[in-house]
Structure 1
Amino acid sequence: MRPDILAPLFGRVAALPGVGPKTAKLFDRLLARPGAEARVVDLLFHLPTNVVDRSQRPKIAEAPMDTMVVIKATVVEHRRPQGRFARAPFRVLVEDETGDIELVFFLANPDWIERSLPIGGTRWISGRIELYDGRRQMVHPDRVLDEAGLARLPPFEAVYGLTEGLQTRYVLRATEEAMTRLPALPEWQEPSVLAANKLPAFAEALRGAHRPESASALSPQHPARQRLALDELLASQLALRLVRAKMRRLPGRENRGDGRLSHAIESALPYSLTSAQQRALADIRADLGSDKRMLRLVQGDVGSGKTIVAALAMASVAECGRQSALMAPTEILARQHYERLAPLLEPVGLRVALLTGRLKASERAALHAAIGAGEIDVVVGTHALVQTDLAFHDLGLAVVDEQHRFGVQQRLALGSKGEAVDVLVMTATPIPRTLALTAFGDMDSSALDEKPPGRTPISTRALPASRIGEVVAGLQRALAQGARAYWVCPLVEENEDLDLAAAEERAADLRRYFGDAVGLLHGRMKGSEKDAVMEAFQRGDARLLVATTVIEVGVDVPEATIMVIEHAERFGLAQLHQLRGRVGRGTGQSSCLLLYKGPLSETAKARLTIIRQTEDGFRIAEEDLRLRGEGEILGTRQAGMPGFRLADLTAHARLLAIARDDAELILRRDPELSSERGKALRVLLYLFERDEAIRLLRAG
């Protein structure tokens, strides 16, 4: 149960004074998850992105051009447009002892102007001055104030990220109201940490962040921003350590296999394992053989050989008479894992089955019965594996592929399908060290940082979109010689309909050149339709596969040697690297063409340069983190894993280390969080919605 002290912060923004039904919907769109309502805490954690500096208050003659100023002036004349000039702007002449200036209002309400700027009245006017025909003018001042209004005008005004229809003044007013609801919360940080880093109290930091007193208050290094970041990082690190402590406390079972099955599989391989694969397997087997639960992350670059590592781990568990399950995020990936694992495991006598949501009820019932009776050794599937009605005979190992698509809850749900289940997590997104500590701090980690022998280097080129004709001509030559190619359409925006329209249009365009050899794959297709298109591409009936990024292009077609990525400037580095990794899987020379539309931003230029320079996924991940922060590197915005709202991992790496050390120390001294500080830390965990950790604490 969330502590009562936090109740005001989890109330609806719609209930704040001054927020009407229409504005409430705009706040929901800006701040809340789809289908949910914005809460006061969402508003308070939505920090300003910029400031308007109104600290300059010069005389008219001394006012700099094109800079925000506040001038004090007397209203001299109204120049209201008349007759056939009625659509011209309304002009107002104002002056002080040094000179005059004309205020210009287009399509304005004349009554409002005459009321706000009465002739002979003194007003304080905020805006930017420019020269027009040799005269000073200010077009649409952003504030016209009397003396009482000036007293309320801050020298620096916060600017927020907005949504269409929502104005900054509504957000300013709502945050003022939200601040009044901020309860007196207990201090959860160690006083010595606050003193050493000169950090304010939580409430003071929140007020300072929302009401900046200078442009420097927006810096991630400002004490207010650092304090809020440290709180969020501490909540995250504490939650991860509680999950880890729970896994560590749960007794494990020794799965020390005799090696007969894994040796048979390994000796049948047409290649030797890389030293990175051997190291990862040694780590996994040591975990399996101990009486502690395994919770290990295997992160490997595209094509680094994670599947064979998982297969050999499953074989070790099967040697002990126990079952394994592999959970993948999409049906296409689950089917692909099944098609790779079955030829490896079945020759040594292991029984492998595929369980997805597409099975008929009778087939599913039969498969559930076989799994429950222990007649299946390895089950591959989607989240259908964690459905409550599936019972295993004796599940020993749960393998979770592409961890960032699943929340901690799903990972724990799969791990709870048996007695003392070991958990192995795989990701093809190499993760920078700082990010691994935040996202996966509850796990041990093994890195597959070598490519298996035989992987051909991929030639990567960037071309302007104006040369698309040359690309099509090159594809015609390559496809005539039997090549296969992917054509990935751009992310139009966060809108599946527009993405789909763009892909359908591109597919229709390419069919004019390639006819029925063009296949189309997108997120709106039924599973059976996707499989049919993929099978046609794998067989070679379709030789050019047009796809949106909504679908998982994690498909393995060794014959595919060309990857065209349209509007490459819209993709993140990790995404470009993942997509490029779909080619170069066979013996043929592979190429990746990045079509971009200029002019390119500095970040887009940097991305395209890095992706051309290297195929090292670990270097690419570090550069990706540097270029765009942690928010999207792991797809956290779409996934169950919480992203950070107040912390920026690139700017706050030092604070992450402080939070990590503090969390470890706390849980050594007070593992149940029952001391005074422990109780305050429970409030912190609820505030940042790491409730799962509290539930684990209660569950023991």
Structure 2
Amino acid sequence: MDERLSAPLSVIKGAGPRRAALLEKLGLRTIYDLLFFFPRKYEDRRNVRKISALVPGAPSVVIARSRGCEARALPGRGRRLIKCRFSDGSGLLDAVWFNIKGLENSLGEGTRAALYGVPSLRGGVFEMLSPEFEILKEGAGPESFAGIVPVYPLTAGLPKNWLCRTIAAAVKTYAPLLEDPIPQEIREKNKLMPLAEAVAQMHAPDSPQSWKEARRRMAYGELFALQLAMAASRARNAKSGAARAKRGPLFLAMMENLPFKLTDSQQKVIDEIIDGASAGAQSARLLQGDVGSGKTAVAAAFAAAICDGGAQCAVLAPTEALAGQLCAQMKKYIPLAEGECLLIKGSMPAAARRKAEASAADGSARIIAGTQALLSEKLKFRKLGAVVIDEQQRFGVRQRGRLLADAAHPHLLMMSATPIPRTTALTLYGDLDLSVIDSVPAGRAPIETRLADYAKLPELLRFAAREILAGGRVYWICPRVEEGDGAAVSAVKRYEWLVKKLPPVKISLVHGQLESADKERALADFRSGASQLLVGTTVLEVGIDVPEASVIVIESPERYGLSQLHQLRGRVGRGARRGVCILLSSAAEDVPRLRKFAATNDGFEIARIDLETRGAGELAGIAQHGDAGLKSADLARDAELAMLARRDVQELAARGGLPPAETSERKK
């Protein structure tokens, strides 16, 4: 990779230490990161109209001249309304903004501007509330303002327009430096855009069709990299010398002392996994199971059998909270001695970290759980027999490979609650055996899902208070950590509001920007009952298991896919109390989709509905998923593209022409 792409963002004009720190909150540290930070959505501003031709409710761009602005105070400290009247000779348009200092000076009488918003009629005059705008020089057109405009994820304090300009300049300067990792013959055969062009079109597409072609190129690149990794995995799995899983004393004691009865499906899957890892050849398996189906007990049984075979088991999780929970459950299920099951975290004190690393190296630690800390080159195992990866889709191919490269040829068990149809799973994970837990533990009632709008917020508060008084606990999920673009309430603001509204209730706050110790404290308080209401973001989506939790409120559910909503919903109803999920939304147009979601608790059915409602190839943004292996590709809608990449890699392998397995546009 060209070294200029590895340069820190501080080399960019206008990105001083303060803005560099804000960009780092979005996971952006280098020029390369910025190039692959794709928009979360796009605004189609190609509809440029005269004021007289505006249609109420139809988003439009208008080029007009200001006739002057007025500002007036509103009730509440520091609140102001600014109204500017515009004319283009065909009609009048009033633009209204709130609490923007100095706007009336910027858009003074005679100022020529382009405005984008949704017009409405008010007293015979068109009006736009909080339109986007750009001041135009005399004779200049709206080229830089109109068209298909990217909308990026933001964090508080980062100016939207500055970020757009900065990314556009970076793409123009640095995208041509990208080396295309896909062989030219493959690109030509499949009619794929060159990488540099695809990156440019992802940020600023010329048309919906050019965006589709760019997304197809980016998705193929990710799937091609995945297939390369699988080709390497298939070759590696053929090696012998792996640890042999055994149904020995630890496994038998666990089976005898489990505090619940395994389902037939769990028992079948345990047998499949242990039998596959008992022959001395390296095994690799994907374990699928819906939310609450009991995957952790299956993983513990496998870990016990690996330990009985004289080897160690590493358990990798995407968050410290989940890693800690998995470690605690392993200790609960498996009769290990003190110190034989360890948790290694990035936030550990240095002395504790060194002690844990020494225990892994000398073999006294038999099960080692952790997050990215397990991927450290400093961590050595005496004999690594298996790697268990929970929520495997949250780790990149290269991340997984660091543990699997151990000389002991460890077995691999990847677990996921993200439903993937069997044919798609076999296409995307063709190097793995597949096991499915297709039932949930007996006695677990379906979660009731209700839709509510913000007019019912007082009633919802009373319901939450009653639930807590009856011994339950409540999650409250918000789509963002802090205030940013859009009207959605942040977790921080909702926490402050709930503290005022429910003073008798002990409330905790958790989100991804907290220090690890603060997150752990908030989760520990909620588990123990020291707090009864936990406000958070989707950091709570995965694996948090609090049996007393009975209600989850999800704000702005229109911002999530149905499968993600299903993951969140699965945080409640895990104990004796019935579970209730409340979707709090003001987006009336999303009600039909949410009603379909509320009507079923079947994760595979929800995945099917999600694909139907999302469509296949519409102009849409790219969700930023942190360490997820796939950013542009979609496990559901890109199955045919995955099959194409698989065939291409197989043909290259047959000719001995495979590029390195770590090939990827988005190196991990």
Q: TM-score, normalised by structure 1?
A: 0.69
SS of residue matched to 1:641: coil
Q: Give 1:456's aligned residue.
A: 445
The superposition leaves residues 579-637 of structure 1 with CA deviations (integer Å, 9 ceiling, x where unpaired) of 33232222x34131415142x1534x245323321112232234345555899xxx973
CA contact (8 A) 1:479 1:543 kept: no
CA contact (8 A) 1:240 1:442 kept: no
Aligned residue for 2:290? 301
- Which residue type is aligned with residue 323 of structure 1? Q
Post-superposition shift, 1:433? 6.1
Q: 2:383 aligns with which of 371, 383, 394?
A: 394
Tell me if the contact between 2:625 and 2:631 (Cα under 8 Å) persists in the aligned partners: no
Distance in 2 between residues matched to 1:131 and 1:377, nearest whole Å? 70
**Amino acid of the residue matched to residue 552 of structure 2?**
V
Residue 613 (structure 1) aligned to one of 573, 578, 599: 599
Aligned counterpart in structure 1 of residue 254 of structure 2, from 265, 277, 288 = 265
Q: Which amino acid aligns with 1:581?
A: G
1:510 to 488, 492, 502: 502
Structure 1 residue 107 displacement after superposition = 6.8
Matches within 5 A, 1:372-387: 372-387=361-376
Out of 645, 655, 667, the position equivalent to 1:669 is: 655
Structure 1, residues 632-681: CA drift from partner, whole Å, max 9, x if none? xxx97343234434x566665433321222122212322544xxxx9xx9
Show the counterpart of 1:424: 413
Distance 1:429 1:126 in 2: 42
Tell me which residue corresponds to 1:236: 225
Structure 1: how far apart are the matches of 2:259 and 2:121? 77
Q: Which amino acid is the alignment partner of residue 328 of structure 1?
A: A
| Aligned-partner Cα distance in 2 for 1:103–1:480 | 53
Structure 2 residue 300 is matched with structure 1 residue 311: yes
CA distance in 2, matches of 1:460, 1:578: 13
The aligned residue for residue 159 of structure 1 is 149
Residues 1:488 and 2:476 are matched in the alignment: yes
CA distance in 2, matches of 1:626, 1:173: 33
Question: CA, structure 1 residues 182+397, in 2 after alignment: closer, same or farther (shift >3 Å)?
Answer: closer
Paired residues for 1:45-84 under 5 Å: 49=42, 53=46
- Partner AA of 1:402 in structure 2: E
Structure 1's unaligned 5+ residue stretches are 72-77, 82-86, 95-99, 117-124, 693-700
Shift of 1:7: 7.1
Q: Please show how residues 139-158 of structure 1 align to structure 2 within 5 Å.
A: 157-158=147-148
SS of the equivalent of 1:511 reads coil
Return the offset for 1:454: 2.2
Matched, 1:344 2:338: no
Q: Work out the CA distance in 2 between the residues paired with 1:133 and 1:157.
A: 30
* Number of residue-to-residue matches in the alignment: 622
Secondary structure of the 1:379 match is: strand
Residues 418, 277 of structure 1: CA spacing in aligned structure 2 closer, same or farther, 3 A cutoff? farther
What is the distance in 2 between the residues matched to 1:88 and 1:279? 68
Partner of 1:500: 492
| Among 551, 554, 572, the residue aligned to 1:563 | 551
- 2:641 is equivalent to residue 659 of structure 1: no
Equivalent residue, structure 2, for 1:585:
574
Q: CA offset at residue 29 of structure 1?
A: 7.8
- Max radius of gyration: which structure? 1
User: How far 1:322 moved relative to its partner?
Assistant: 1.8
User: What does residue 639 of structure 1 align with?
Assistant: 626
Give CA-to-partner distance per residue, 1:540-582, whole Å, 9 cap, x none. x547232312654744333x25213152536523343233323
Letter in 2 for 1:280: V
In 1, Cα distance between equivalents of 2:171 and 2:462: 61
Residues 415/636 of structure 1: CA separation in 2 closer, same or farther (3 Å cut): farther
The 1-side partners of 2:464 and 2:37 are apart by 53
Q: Secondary structure of 1:564's match? A: strand
> In the TM superposition, what is the alpha-carbon distance from 1:519 to its structure 2 partner?
4.2
Residue 188 (str. 1) matches residue 178 (str. 2): no
Q: 1:353 aligns with which of 338, 341, 344?
A: 341
Cα distance in 2 for partners of 1:172, 1:355 equals 40
Do the aligned residues in 2 keep the contact of 1:326 with 1:379 (CA within 8 Å)? yes
1:126–1:141 Cα contact (<8 Å) kept:
yes
Once the two structures are TM-superposed, the CA of residue 346 in structure 1 deviates from its matched residue by 0.7
Letter in 1 for 2:498: R
Equivalent residues of 1:160, 1:168 under 8 A apart: no
- Shift of the 455–233 alpha-carbon distance from structure 1 to 2, 3 Å rule, reads same
2:597 matches 1:602: no
Contact 2:478 2:491 in 1 (8 A): yes
Q: Work out which of the residue numbers 217, 222, 225 in structure 1 matches 2:209.
A: 217
The change in CA–CA distance for 1:10 and 1:375 in structure 2 (over 3 A counts) is closer
Contact 1:13 1:43 in 2 (8 A): no
Retained in 2: the 8 A contact 1:354–1:380?
yes
Q: Deviations over 1:276-304 (max 9, x none)?
A: 32342233224312443223222222221
Decide whether aligned partners of structure 1 residues 30 and 441 sit closer, same or farther in structure 2, where only a CA change above 3 A counts: farther
Instruction: Give the Cα–Cα distance (whole angstroms) in 2 for the partners of residues 467 and 43 of structure 1.
Output: 41
Task: Output the CA distance in 2 between the equivalents of 1:569 and 1:178.
Answer: 38
State the SS of the aligned residue for 2:627. Answer: coil
Amino acid at match of 2:401: L
From 42, 45, 50, the counterpart of 2:35? 42
Of all paired residues, the percent bearing the same amino acid is 26
Q: Distance in 1 between matches of 2:600 and 2:10?
A: 50
Alpha-carbon distance between aligned partners in 2 of 1:536 and 1:110, rounded to the nearest angstrom: 54
**2:434 alignment counterpart:** 445
The CA deviation string for residues 333-380 of structure 1, in whole angstroms up to 9 with x for no partner, is: 333323322232218x89742334476666655555554443343333
Structure 1 residues 259 and 161: alpha-carbon distance in aligned structure 2, compared to 1, 3 A threshold: same
**1:313, CA displacement in angstroms?**
1.0
Point out where structure 2 has 5 or more consecutive residues left out of the alignment.
Answer: 69-81, 96-103
- Structure with the larger helix share: 1
For residue 402 of structure 2, what is the aligned residue in structure 1? 413
- Supply the distance in 1 between the matched residues of 2:34 and 2:507 (Cα, whole angstroms): 47
Q: Give the SS at the match of 2:161.
A: coil
Structure 1: which amino acid aligns with 2:473?
A
Residues 1:367 and 1:44: Cα distance change in structure 2 (over 3 Å): closer
CA distance in 1, matches of 2:330, 2:415: 15
Say yes or no: does 1:522 pair with 2:515.
Answer: no
CA contact (8 A) 1:296 1:443 kept: yes
Cα distance per residue 1:36-70 (max 9 Å; x no partner): 243599289779946655999xxx9xx96669899
Which residue in the other structure is 2:101 paired with? Answer: none
Distance 1:44 1:530 in 2: 26
Q: Which amino acid aligns with 1:311?
A: A
Task: Give the equivalent residue in structure 2 for 1:120.
Answer: none
Q: Secondary structure at the match of 2:225?
A: helix
Distance 1:443 1:639, change over 3 A: farther
C-alpha distance in 1 between matches for 2:465 and 2:265: 40
**Given the two structures, how large is their TM-score scaled by the length of structure 2?**
0.72
Task: Read off the aligned partner of 2:476 and give its amino acid letter.
Answer: V
Post-superposition offset of 1:309: 0.9
Distance 1:351 1:43 in 2: 42
Could you say what secondary structure the match of 1:257 adopts?
Answer: coil
